[in-house]
Amino acid sequence: MAEAQNGSAGPQAVPAASARPPATPEGVALAYGSLVLMALLPIFFGALRSVSCAKSKNSSEMPETITSRDAARFPIVASCTLLGLYLFFKIFSQEYINLLLSMYFFVLGILALSHTISPMMNRFFPANFPNKQYQLLFTQGSGESKEEIVNYEFDTKDLVCLALSSVVGVWYLLRKHWIANNLFGLAFSLNGVELLHLNNVSTGCILLGGLFIYDVFWVFGTNVMVTVAKSFEAPIKLVFPQDLLEKGLEADNFAMLGLGDIVIPGIFIALLLRFDISLKKNTHTYFYTSFVAYIFGLGLTIFIMHIFKHAQPALLYLVPACIGFPLLVALAKGEVTEMFRFQLSGFMHASGSRFFPESQPSQHGPGPAWSYESSAEILPHTPRLTHFPTVSGSPASLADSMQQKQPCPRRRRQQSPSAM
């Protein structure tokens, strides 16, 4: 959800308080334009990185797969979480809750930012850099019942990235500065789009449709979402000051956008990119269509919010656009029937990982796949999403790898930078 608000940040769109002078038109335009640009960056680059992630042979860096069952339960789990936070803020001291949340997101933010900048930082290390290997291993039990809790391999380059990310983390923890908040927010968003994969387009429609209802209900139907957003101090949103031109970096009249409005449509757009590539037609029609649709939906959200000065659930505009535009393109190309009938297993995860080259005929005849699927049979090592990420879009593979109970040895990451 988008928001224009003075002072503290949150993921809703609310009118500016009368206690402060209104922002100038230039400041408002700069803030909204910056939010749109910041929202597009993690979606675009996260989608590109999701292709390499899906092809990865590294078991610990495999994406989390969201199935249709997960997608159907997601709005219910999100609603319970939101209501639980609302009750916590009503019953307990907001100060102590935000202290715990700050520490939690401090750790996650450092891991997410480190993972985000690692491919870029690898380009700056000289060839003769003394790169030593390390392993962090925790086990539980003994003998045949012994199982790995953590098995994480890393090197000196990873430690450098972690140290740089820790500087940003300390800055955020001490100052809660909006730039540090945005660095963490962008890292969360990019990791979410890269590492959370929908298993087919139908699942994406279920997820977006369910969260469409969730967003509309909790924004228009109650004050729960707005209350939590105003009370929740964590990098779960991107913010940009509307009074930057007047106050500089110390500005505090923020416009903001929740990370959920980036990650949720973003994973659907990333799925369409992988679908385009799997068709082997050297075109990214559905990806670019959905990307333009996201820009249109987000722009419409900001316009409606600015006109009516009221909280706006961004998914109310983003979901119809991101689903409707690709569907119209498919209709224009005469591929809708084939899309719903034909099923294509997306990416090969085996020795010689590759994309499926051609569409194989089914009993209904050949054609492109609206029900494009990253099949469990084709991706046997891809872990199924058994619990849901926070609304911030935190990096699932890094956080969840610290909690998985099954053995999951980590092989060395490729030294060449991953696709950005």
Catalytic residue numbers read 215, 261
- CA nearest neighbour of 393 among 233, 264, 212: 264
E-strand stretches of 129-281 = 133-140, 147-155, 196-198, 237-241, 253-258
- Beta bridge mates, 253: 6
DSSP assigned state of 383: P
Distance (Å, whole) CA 393 – CA 380: 25
Q: Please, what sign has the CA dihedral across residues 184, 42, 152, 381?
A: positive
Q: Tell me the two tokens of residue 380.
A: 């046997």
Query: 344: which strand partners?
Result: none
Q: Helices 25-55 and 285-308, interaxial angle, to 10°? A: 150
Nearest to 390 by CA among 21, 112, 4: 112
Burial class (CB in 10 A: 0-12, 13-18, 19+), 386: exposed
**Rg of the chain in Å (alpha carbons):** 22
Beta pairing, strands 133-140 & 147-155: antiparallel
Estimate to the nearest angstrom the gap between the alpha carbon of 357 and the chain centroid. 28
